[in-house]
A and B are shown apart, each in its own frame.
Chain A
Amino acid sequence: MAIAETLPADDSGLAAKTPLTVSVLRAFRHRSLAAGTLICVVLAALVICAPLLTGFDPAKQSAMETFQAPSLAHPMGTDAFGRDMMARVLYGGRVTMLASLAVVVMGAIAGTILGLVAGYAGGAAGFAIMRLVDLLLAFPGILLALAITAILGPGLVNGIIAISIILVPVYARLVEGATREIRSLPFVDAAIVLGAGPIRVMATHILPNVMSSVIVMTTTWLGVAALWITALGFIGLGVQPPQPEWGAILNDGQMFLTLAWWMTVFPGVFLSLFIIGVNLMGDGLRDVLDPTIAD
């Protein structure tokens, strides 16, 4: 994915004069934001309410009920272990959604801190950090994730760590550039002359000014994070059985593609819908928060 070169955002989008509710309402007039939010909210509601929607335990095996096609009892069929697919898809959604969110949040925090330090300190430290960032960026992300999970061992937490590490350089580069730019602005000099130390300058002047770029970036990368975390699950390096997760469920299903299409189709549809929703939301938020890159 391309990294949108966002400038330290202009403040005009977040005019303080308009009360919050008004700006939220205005934002939702944006079609894709509204549609994306709707999709995400519905999906979130479904996975949160999973216990109300299905009585099955997603891990409960049943030797008598393997590979059942969708029916009234099992609306999405059952899998190789006779587990109810609907329960697995709904409970699995919780894992996928939270994991994606955790990935971007962790990546954003670590990347932003690194970028702030590199951009503000400059010099040898900044140079070292940024060359490391270049190194990580010069390598296809999914391969890096593979290597990291190979080191840490498979598992959901390790998968989340691996993928957030991939996001770190992306954020670091964005924030470093923005920090350097803001660092050179007179209001930072003014703060220094007023006696502010580096940490105070970073926290009160630079961070708030790069935040909107970071948020825009986060919405763009949330979808990518979901794609990667599920890809890891699909390769078998994500969550460990019997815990359900959309990528892992798809992995279970792929071996039986022609015999049990429901094992592949349902989780895939949910996953795609989720990513579409997230991307729509991201597009909308970007337009609303960062008018400079809207066309």
Chain B
Amino acid sequence: MLSYVAGRLAAIVALAFGISGLVFLMLRLIPGDPVMALLGTQAANPEVVERLRRQLGLDESMASQYVTWLGNLFRGDFGYSYGQQRPVSELIAANFPATLQLTVCALFLSVLLGLAIGIVAALKRNRAADTLGMGLALALMSIPSFWLGLLLILLFAVTWPIFDVVGGTGFKGVVLPAVTLALGTVGFNARFIRSSVLSAQTQKHVITARAKGLSRATVFLRHVLRNSLLPILTVVGIQVGNLLSGTVVVETVFSRPGLGRLLVDAILSKDYLTVQAVVLIIAVIYAGANFVVDLCYPLLDPRIARR
């Protein structure tokens, strides 16, 4: 077990390095001069530009820039954002909570709704509720989140101004973005939960329990639902990644601060160090979430632990 954990952690580190190298290369393939981007169309005479290029270390070779970056990274220094003129770590600290809040709220909503729809559909298999639930799941999977977000704004922030248009981190600001983000993943969750509940119902001990004359509800709660914990965990593992990438669009639509928007802005303005750091962090979160989920499996299912 210990060597497994160590191996996985090593894989995550390797992955992070791979991604950092890839991103470093890709960024430098993007056309455009970051120094010009900083100055925009204001007052850029050639002397100012060259001076700035030197000051930012952008006149050095690519390899030496990468080595410098890696060296700083080992010292826990993410570097300095050219575009926002402050340490990248500060930018991340300022934007991360909003993304975390959004992702956690959306994850919670998404799992809960998925669970509700999935269980109802499974229990009423092949009946109207099932068809309806699965139809809903499919529709939710299909509707683009950026459009859904716009509709929600139109309905619940403009026509009936219940929530804020600008997605702040207050309650009224987070509801619509979280709902938008969650609904896109509910469909998948509902289908997944439905099929796991269905397969749990056909397992031997469930059939035995039913044969023993236990009530449907008891059987469901004691056996079926408990066995559904694993699929929920799986769903969480899968959705962390989906939700993280979904925040890019949702944060843009709702003008919310967050890592996704920070990253998009940084890519578009060639803010190298910011992009590199955010990408690294997202990749680590992504890999880390799956790692934690994998670690949780044996806790929930002793059969896996024994293997």
A and B from one complex: yes
| Smallest CB separation, A291 vs chain B (Å) | 14
**Inter-chain residue pair count (beta carbon < 8 A):** 119
CB under 8 Å from chain A, chain B span 239-257: 241-242, 244-246, 248-249, 252-253
CB of B277, distance to nearest CB on chain A (Å)? 14
Decide: A143 and B31 in contact? CB cutoff 8 A: no
Residue B142 at the chain A interface, CB threshold 8 Å = yes
Interface string of B208-226 (1 = CB under 8 A from A): 0000000000000000000
Q: Which residue of A lies closest to B264 (CB)?
A: A146
Select the stretch in B2-10, B85-93, B144-152, B296-304 that faces chain A.
Answer: B144-152
Task: Pick from A2, A32, A150, A264: contact of B188, CB below 8 A.
Answer: A2
**Proximity bits, A252-288, B CB within 8 Å = 1, else 0:** 0110011001001100100110011011100100000
A 132-148 binary contact with B (CB < 8 Å = 1; else 0) = 00110011111100111
Interface string of A209-238 (1 = CB under 8 A from B): 000000000000001000100110011000
In the complex, residue of chain A having the shortest beta-carbon distance to the beta carbon of B28: A151
Contact partner, B248, options A142, A258, A283, Cβ 8 Å = A142
Contact assessment for A234 and B142 in the assembled complex, using a CB-CB cutoff below 8 Å: no
Q: Which residue of B lies closest to A142 (CB)?
A: B245
Interface flag for A208 (CB, 8 Å): no
B287, A279: Cβ atoms under 8 Å? no
Which residues of chain B in 91-114 are interfacial with respect to chain A, using CB atoms and an 8 Å cutoff? none
B287 cross-chain contacts in A, Cβ below 8 A: 138
| Residues in B neighbouring A257, C-beta threshold 8 A | 150, 153-154, 158
A150 and B263 contact, Cβ closer than 8 Å, known pairs A140-B245, A143-B282, A235-B252:
no
Determine the distance from Cα of A234 to Cα of B248 in the docked complex, in whole angstroms: 12
**Does the CB pair B23–A147 fall under 8 Å?**
yes
Knowing A2-B192, A257-B154 are in contact, say whether A135-B19 is a contact too (CB < 8 A): yes
Give Cα A250–Cα B151 distance, bound, in whole angstroms: 11
- B195 within 8 A of partner (CB): yes
Inside 8 A of A278's CB, which chain B residues have their CB? 142
Residue from the set A1, A143, A258 with the largest chain B CB neighbour count within 10 Å: A143
The one of A223, A235, A295 in contact with B142, judged by C-beta atoms closer than 8 angstroms, is A223
Contact B29–A231 (Cβ < 8 Å): no
Residues of A17-37 at the interface with B, using a CB-CB cut-off of 8 Å, are 32
Q: Which residues from A are CB-within-8-Å of B260? A: 143
Q: Say yes or no: A146-B138 contact (C-beta < 8 A), given A2-B188, A135-B19, A268-B144.
A: no
Chain A contacts for B246, CB-based, 8 A: 142
Q: Does B26 contact A (CB under 8 A)?
A: yes
What's the least CB distance linking A257 to chain B, in Å? 6
Interface flag for A131 (CB, 8 Å)? yes
Judge if B198 is at the interface, Cβ distance under 8 Å: yes
B78 within 8 A of A: no
Complex: A24 Cα to B22 Cα, angstroms: 46
B57 interfacial by beta-carbon distance below 8 Å: no
Q: How does the 8 Å CB contact mask read for B15-35 relative to A, with 1 for contact and 0 for none?
A: 100110011001101110000
- Check if A153 is an interface residue, CB within 8 A of chain B: yes
B196 to chain A: closest CB distance in Å? 10
Interfacial chain B residues near A147, Cβ < 8 Å: 23, 26-27, 30, 267
B binding-site residues for A, Cβ under 8 Å: 15, 18-19, 22-23, 26-27, 29-31, 138-139, 141-144, 146-147, 150-151, 153-154, 158, 188, 192, 195, 198-199, 238, 241-242, 244-246, 248-249, 252-253, 260, 263-264, 267-268, 279, 282-283, 286-287
Closest 6 CB pairs of A and B: A140-B245, A275-B142, A268-B147, A276-B142, A151-B29, A272-B143
